[in-house]
């Protein structure tokens, strides 16, 4: 049975997520929440048969019970998220957080999704787009041998970086660096983001550098990286290793390209696509667990 | 050109842009020696940080000999009248770095973005302004957009609280008319109280000519570096520029003979290679490529056996911008693949 879900945020991310969720075997998107009555995203959601409100999360709260909403995706901003999380958490809704608020533990599905099951977590955070694209590669190296330093450079087309990211670019670098450590397994993490305005827009590029503590085991790392690429491709088909792994002393470098599916957002916005795909993948796993009774949602203690 | 009676603030780049040319390996002793000599020569503003600004320490850009904090703490107590500035690129450094720099005694912060991306600087500019710092918005690679677009971005930075806006020729691509158009448009559009600055690179030997054009069009802060120590073919050579300004009757407050000594006796002996317009630097200026790519491209060329100027041309064709040093190795690997395929 599908699990009913609400999408909070009717912008680009919310809309792309909606298109993906409509195809899901496990998630049934019921509500979309916005703050602007003239929002195109809300209109589009209504066209697809969703209920909508432009009164923010408060407009959704009275319907949680009657519509049996068990999962909510938050694609608003880090600042709004805390409030959304508190209100929905109190009603027992599991929150998939796509903002860089990082209230809950980080989730990069291909690396640690299974770790979250059974922990009765009410809020998981999807790190950042750069994190979703690069942390799997750091983890691919760190599962072979110790990584003392992991550094990622995410380059996205200017057109695919929204006002939220721009206004709070420090949150991106901080949260991503933290994810490189906590989920990627690097002892120390560093993240850099570049917005490139070239026309036609460039497809998202990501470079991952790891410094291994000992001499890198080239064969094992190559194998691990290739396996990880294939795992990410299961939910992001346009995830591709362009060059590498390059071995240079203790440095191991991977050069990636992330092309989106083009559901709602253009293909070059691989950064946004990998975010929505990862969020949906996470929700689907939780939905599966809710359905088979492995996890039971409960109201978080306020 | 009549500039007599004008006054400009000169800003030396040896210890920041020069870090690119030194692979970020300038020692603490060298930092102090250069900064002290510049201070004694009357240079009012000196930038000190990793070449890619605060927080630039990385595999991508290079790990420096010392941390930004160590450099700043070493240099600042020695300054008698010069102020120390620091560069910050949002996406690389954060407001945490900005606060650290201020705690070290940095009074001027320059928040640098690609020329079309000014809105990523709001967090940093507004914080610096609220802390009462001399707050500069620094629009890089400004040759890539039209003057009215530069104005649009500058106004954003001004609205966040910047009291000075720079038009930055990071690729050393501009010709004097390009500078005149951009600086003139900024001067017309910005608040008269907002200062305007110009930062040049010497890849087409236009550093001096462009800086003069900038002053004529209304700029009052000009970047240069003694002996040109900087990325690409270097910055506008400061001692040469001061000599020219002296002849033209522009007040700088800098002692030209002392500055010549700093160039000849302190900075030139520090250089790892001559700062000159070699083929690669010329390609930077000709193709409009970010000057800091130079040594990275030479290193990738040596490692993979592909020509460095070919790497730079490809980076230009890809419309790469400042900060995309990671694409240099990527391009080199692609060129290598292509050559192997052609041979097969």
Neighbours of B270 (CB within 10 A): 17
Contact B118, B142 (CB under 8 A): no
Question: Does the pLDDT value for residue A158 go beyond 90?
Answer: yes
Contact B211, B224 (CB under 8 A): yes
Domain total for chain B?
2
Distance CA B29, CA B25 (A): 11
Question: Is residue B321 assigned to a domain?
Answer: yes
DSSP β-ladder status, B195-199 and B108-114: unpaired
Question: Does the pLDDT value for residue A298 go beyond 70?
Answer: no
Is the link from the previous residue into A200 a cis peptide, with omega within 30 of 0? yes
B110-134 confidence digits (pLDDT tens): 999 999 999 999 999 999 999 999 9
Question: Does the pLDDT value for residue A301 go beyond 70?
Answer: no
CATH superfamily of A3-126+276-291: NAD(P)-binding Rossmann-like Domain (3.40.50.720)
Q: Are residues B178 and B313 in the same domain?
A: no
Distance CA B317, CA B319 (A): 5
B33-49 confidence digits (pLDDT tens): 999 999 999 999 999 99
C-alpha separations of A1 from A63, A103, A122, B271 in Å = 20, 29, 21, 70
For the domain spanning A129-268, the CATH number is: 3.30.360.10
pLDDT of residue A289: 82
Residue environment code for A115-130, b if the CB has 16+ CB neighbours within 10 A, otherwise e: ebeeeebbbbbbbbbb
Any CB–CB contact under 8 A between B323 and chain A? yes
- pLDDT band for position A87 (cuts 50, 70, 90): very high
Any CB–CB contact under 8 A between B117 and chain A? yes
Inspect the interface and report whether the beta carbons of B94 and A211 lie closer than 8 Å. no
Inspect the interface and report whether the beta carbons of B330 and A192 lie closer than 8 Å. no
Question: Is residue B239 assigned to a domain?
Answer: yes
Question: Is residue B278 assigned to a domain?
Answer: no
Any CB–CB contact under 8 A between B119 and chain A? yes
Inspect the interface and report whether the beta carbons of A173 and B114 lie closer than 8 Å. no
Q: Are residues B96 and B170 in the same domain?
A: yes
Question: Does the pLDDT value for residue B319 go beyond 70?
Answer: yes
Q: Are residues B100 and B204 in the same domain?
A: yes
pLDDT of residue A119: 72
First to last CA, chain B: 59
Top-confidence residue, A300 or B155: B155
Question: Is residue B251 assigned to a domain?
Answer: yes
Q: CA-CA-CA-CA torsion for A224, A230, A236, A241, nearest 10 degrees?
A: 60
Q: Are residues B129 and B235 in the same domain?
A: yes
Among the listed residues A129, A177, A225, A254, the single catalytic one is: A129
Task: Give the global pTM.
Answer: 0.95
Question: Is residue B286 assigned to a domain?
Answer: no
Contact B157, B117 (CB under 8 A): no
Task: Point out which residues pair with A73 in neighbouring strands.
Answer: A7, A96
| Token pair in block for residue A3 | 């699990």
Nearest to B94 among A174, A195, A198 (CB): A174
A68-84 confidence digits (pLDDT tens): 999 999 999 888 999 99
Nearest to B90 among A151, A169, A197 (CB): A169
Residues 6+ away with beta carbon under 8 Å from A45 = A7, A10, A15, A18, A29, A32, A52
Question: Does the pLDDT value for residue B15 go beyond 80?
Answer: yes
Query: Which residue bears the tokens 């809300």?
Result: A42
Nearest to A155 among B96, B119, B324 (CB): B324
User: What ipTM is given for this predicted complex?
Assistant: 0.96
DSSP β-ladder status, A204-212 and A147-157: antiparallel
pLDDT of residue A77: 84
Task: Point out which residues pair with A5 in neighbouring strands.
Answer: A29, A71
Among the listed residues B20, B24, B199, B309, the single catalytic one is: B20
A212-253 confidence digits (pLDDT tens): 999 999 999 999 999 999 999 999 999 999 999 999 999 999
Q: Are residues B188 and B325 in the same domain?
A: no
Mean pLDDT, residues A271-279:
94
Instruction: Respond yes or no: is residue A129 known to be catalytic.
Output: yes
Closest residue of chain A to B335, computed from CA coordinates? A243
Among B58, B91, B100, B340, which would you mutate to test the A interface (most chain A Cβ atoms within 10 Å of its Cβ)? B91
Mean pLDDT, residues B175-189:
98
CATH at B81: 3.20.20.70
Domain ranges of chain A: 3-126+276-291, 129-268
A162-207 confidence digits (pLDDT tens): 888 898 899 999 999 999 999 999 999 999 999 999 999 999 999 9
B265-290 confidence digits (pLDDT tens): 999 999 999 999 999 999 999 999 99
Q: Are residues B210 and B322 in the same domain?
A: no
What range does the domain containing B265 cover?
A: 9-270
Contact A287, A300 (CB under 8 A): no
Inspect the interface and report whether the beta carbons of B95 and A195 lie closer than 8 Å. no
Closest residue of chain B to A193, computed from CA coordinates? B91
pLDDT of residue A265: 87
């Amino acid at each position: 049975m599908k699990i009913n879900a609400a999408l909070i945020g009717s912008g680009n991310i919310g809309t792309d997520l909606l298109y993906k969720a409509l195809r899901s075997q496990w998630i049934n998107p019921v509500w979309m929440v916005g703050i602007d009555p003239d929002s195109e995203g809300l209109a589009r959601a209504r066209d697809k048969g969703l209920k909508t409100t432009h009164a923010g999360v408060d407009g959704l709260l009275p319907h949680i019970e009657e519509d049996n909403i068990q999962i909510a995706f938050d694609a608003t901003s880090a600042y709004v998220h805390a409030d959304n999380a508190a209100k929905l958490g109190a009603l027992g809704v599991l929150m998939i957080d796509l903002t860089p608020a990082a209230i809950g533990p980080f989730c990069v599905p291909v690396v640690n999704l299974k770790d979250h099951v059974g922990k009765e977590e009410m809020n998981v955070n999807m790190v950042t787009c750069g994190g979703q694209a690069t942390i799997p590669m750091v983890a691919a190296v760190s599962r072979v041998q110790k990584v003392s330093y992991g550094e990622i450079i995410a380059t996205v087309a200017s057109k695919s970086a929204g006002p939220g990211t721009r206004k709070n670019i420090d949150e991106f670098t901080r949260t991503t660096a933290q994810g490189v450590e906590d989920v990627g397994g690097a002892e120390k993490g560093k993240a850099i983001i570049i917005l490139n305005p070239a026309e036609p827009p460039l497809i998202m590029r990501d470079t991952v550098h790891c410094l291994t503590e000992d001499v890198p085991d080239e064969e094992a790392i190559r194998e691990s990286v290739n396996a990880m690429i294939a795992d990410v491709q299961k939910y992001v088909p346009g995830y591709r290793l362009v060059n590498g792994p390059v071995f240079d002393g203790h440095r191991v470098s991977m050069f990636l390209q992330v092309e989106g599916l083009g559901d709602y957002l253009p293909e070059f916005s691989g950064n946004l696509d990998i975010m929505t795909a990862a969020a949906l993948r996470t929700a689907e796993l939780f939905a599966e667990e809710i359905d088979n009774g492995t996890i039971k949602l409960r109201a978080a203690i306020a | 050109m009549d500039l007599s009676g004008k006054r400009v603030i000169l800003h030396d780049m040896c210890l920041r842009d020069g870090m690119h040319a030194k692979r970020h390996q300038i020692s603490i002793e060298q930092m102090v020696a250069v900064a002290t000599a510049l201070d004694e020569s009357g240079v009012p503003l000196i930038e000190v940080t990793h070449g890619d600004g605060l927080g630039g320490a990385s595999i991508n850009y290079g790990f420096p000999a010392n941390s930004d904090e160590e450099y700043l703490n070493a240099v600042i107590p020695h300054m008698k009248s010069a102020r120390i500035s620091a560069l910050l690129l949002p996406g690389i450094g954060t407001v945490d770095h900005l606060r650290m720099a201020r705690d070290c005694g940095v009074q001027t912060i320059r928040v640098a973005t690609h020329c079309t991306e000014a809105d990523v600087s709001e967090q940093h500019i507004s914080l610096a302004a609220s802390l009462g710092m001399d707050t500069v918005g620094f629009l890089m690679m400004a040759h890539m957009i039209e003057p009215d677009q530069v104005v649009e971005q500058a106004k954003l930075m001004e609205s966040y609280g910047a009291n000075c806006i720079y038009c930055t020729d990071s690729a050393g691509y501009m010709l004097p008319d390009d500078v005149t158009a951009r600086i003139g448009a900024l001067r017309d559009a910005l608040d008269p109280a907002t200062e305007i600055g110009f930062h040049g690179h010497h890849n087409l030997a236009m550093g001096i000519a462009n800086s003069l054009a900038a002053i004529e069009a209304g700029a009052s802060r000009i970047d240069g570096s003694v002996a040109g120590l900087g990325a690409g073919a270097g910055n506008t050579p400061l001692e040469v520029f001061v000599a020219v300004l002296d002849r033209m009757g522009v007040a700088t407050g800098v002692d030209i003979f002392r500055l010549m000594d700093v160039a000849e006796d302190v900075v030139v002996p520090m250089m790892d290679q001559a700062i000159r317009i070699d083929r690669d630097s010329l390609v930077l200026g000709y193709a409009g490529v970010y000057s800091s790519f130079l040594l990275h491209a030479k290193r990738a060329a040596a490692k993979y056996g592909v020509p460095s100027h070919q790497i730079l041309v490809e980076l230009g064709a890809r419309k790469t911008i400042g900060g995309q040093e990671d694409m240099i190795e990527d391009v080199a690997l692609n060129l290598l693949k292509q050559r192997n395929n052609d041979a097969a």
